[in-house]
């Protein structure tokens, strides 16, 4: 008997709209050079570098995942671990999640938790409500 196959559907329109929002925010801040994947092979929804100072913007959109998902938490820890190493090597960075507004505080706690694991001292994650359906929680990584 073969192992069951995991079937995933196409990303939802809400997810895709949030990816577009994160990419727009990154580009507005000058992050314009794309990265295909992180060194461990992981692929956040948005990975862009600002060429002038090598600042790295990583973004992940959430539409159907919840702040309680163990698999999601594992992936977010991969991204923040890389950002921590990147900053330790002299880079700058931003990690952002575009999330449903109704779950913004749960995602804010998740972001604080995963970022605190890699920054010196407590993470100071920020929250901005974009509209009734979308919020962005984010953390700046500075040397």
Say if residue 5's pLDDT is above 50: no
Query: If phi over 0 gives left and psi between -120 and 50 gives alpha, with beta otherwise, what is residue 15?
Result: alpha
Say if residue 88's pLDDT is above 60: yes
Say if residue 1's pLDDT is above 50: no
Confidence (pLDDT) at 3: 39
- Which of 48-62, 91-105, 120-134 has the least mean pLDDT? 120-134
Rounded (10°) CA dihedral 113, 77, 99, 33? 130
Measured distance CA(75)–CA(66) in Å, rounded: 13
Q: Over pLDDT 90: what percentage of the chain? A: 81
Reduced to 3 states, what is the DSSP secondary structure of residue 96?
A: strand
Residue-wise pLDDT for 25-49, tens only, equals 999 999 999 999 999 999 999 999 9
Residue 41 tokens read as 């092979």
Mean pLDDT of the chain: 91
Record the pTM: 0.91
Over residues 116-137, mean pLDDT: 89
Confidence (pLDDT) at 121: 66
Say if residue 86's pLDDT is above 50: yes
CB 118, CB 77: distance < 8 Å:
no
Rounded (10°) CA dihedral 17, 8, 68, 120? -70
CB 77, CB 28: distance < 8 Å:
no
- Give 88's DSSP letter: H
């Amino acid at each position: 008997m073969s192992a069951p196959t995991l079937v995933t559907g196409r990303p939802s329109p809400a997810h895709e709209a949030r990816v577009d929002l994160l990419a727009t925010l990154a580009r507005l801040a000058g992050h314009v050079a794309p990265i295909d994947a992180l060194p461990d092979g992981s692929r956040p929804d948005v990975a862009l570098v600002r060429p002038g100072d090598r600042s790295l913007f990583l973004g992940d959109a959430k539409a159907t995942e919840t702040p309680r998902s163990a698999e999601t938490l594992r992936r977010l820890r991969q991204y923040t671990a890389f950002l921590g190493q990147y900053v330790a090597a002299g880079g700058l960075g931003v990690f952002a999640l575009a999330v449903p507004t109704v779950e913004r505080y749960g995602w804010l706690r998740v972001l604080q938790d995963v970022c605190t694991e890699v920054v010196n001292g407590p993470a100071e994650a920020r929250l901005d409500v974009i509209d009734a359906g979308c919020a962005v929680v984010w953390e700046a990584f500075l040397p």
